[in-house]
Amino acid sequence: MKLGIVGLPNVGKSTLFNSLTKAGAESANYPFCTIDPNVGVVAVPDERLGLLADMYHSAKVTPAVIEFVDIAGLVKGASKGEGLGNQFLANIREVDAIVHVVRCFEDPNVIHVDGSIDPLRDIETINLELIFSDLEILERRISKTVRGARNDKALAKELDLLNRIKAWLEDGKMAISFATDDEDEQEWLASYNLLTRKPVIFAANVKEGDLADDGASNAHVQAVREYAAEYGCEVFVICAEIEQEIAELDDDEKAMFLEDLGLKESGLEKLIKASYRLLGLISYLTAGETETRAWTIKDGTKAPQAAGKIHSDFERGFIRAEVVNYQDLLDCGAYAAAREKGLVRLEGKDYVVKDGDVILFRFNV
């Protein structure tokens, strides 16, 4: 999974990136301090892996990972070359979802590019820049398609779609709300990689005092939540400064620190849960002496396609899957004991894999 982090300058974007990835991206109290796109890969915390690895005495543990891409703070006119934003928008065209960091805290010592705190105005600013960037992509595609559309029915059909989606964006709407039942049009839309078609997770960045009640008493956070509910986006509340402190601690210290703050999970864990929900993802597990590993798949994936995540041969030569629920396996203490109790099931090609399934695939190529 790949997530792109966007936001205005000085909203805590690079601080959040630093804390999530410990990659040390430069952050400072002025715009455009992130000159190159920063990329960091983060392991998805999953306590199931350690417990299974202990049971199997695994030599290696491999968690699922998320790749974060952080770009320079965007400002009004970024898509037209203002600031440094435009040159970086291309870097997030390949992401699965966008994490939009929104400032929901007052602090006279941290300047805001627009002089005041207004998260809905900030969201609108970023949305417009993404729309303008997408319009540029569409205009180039239209000029290329129009030449052949006179003599090619498929190109004429695509040109009609391009003009409709262009008009949609020019009306200030995001491409994600543009609906079509036509399979050709759906494929074309996916191929354009429009930024405004990507799912969005809002990271409401607050002061430490707003963390305990998850931003319930913060009017700015409530405004973001209402906006997100209207547009089908996810929201999580975070204090980027606190996350940076947490990032420096080991697991035991982190647990104590979170407990002292009255928190059950870190911002990274909140973000991962939000992104898995938004993208409809789950994880199944494989375990053995060699390796215990988490595999991320779309919810609803059938066994052969899940096997294909490991290797294409597994999907091509799929025979069956031996499946046991993670908790059942743990409760039994061993795979053999789970099998004796009839908890290990043999599943065929139509089995839909569930989150927490521990699977052994049988295949023949």
Count other C-beta atoms under 10 Å from residue 71's C-beta. 25
Are residues 285 and 294 in contact, defined by beta-carbon separation less than 8 angstroms?
yes
φ/ψ of residue 319, rounded to 5: -110, -55
pLDDT tens for each residue of 300-332: 999 999 999 999 999 999 999 999 999 999 999
Residue 205's H or E segment, with its range, is strand 200-205
Supply the pTM of this predicted model: 0.83
9-to-19, 33, 101, 209 alpha-carbon distances in Å = 17, 9, 10, 23
170-174, 253-257, 349-353: which has the minimum mean pLDDT?
253-257
- Order across the sheet with 65-70: list the strands: 38-43, 65-70, 2-6, 97-103, 200-205, 234-238
pLDDT tens for each residue of 54-95: 999 999 999 988 888 887 666 565 445 544 444 557 778 889
φ/ψ of residue 311, rounded to 5: -165, 145
From CA 313, how far away is CA 293, in angstroms rounded? 18
Q: What are the b/e assignments for 223-247, b being 16+ CB within 10 Å?
A: bbbebbeeeebbbbbbbbbbbbebb
Of 158-172, 204-218, 233-247, the range with the highest mean pLDDT is 158-172
pLDDT tens for each residue of 202-213: 999 999 889 888
Contacts for 208 with CB less than 8 Å, ≥ 6 apart = 239, 241, 242, 261
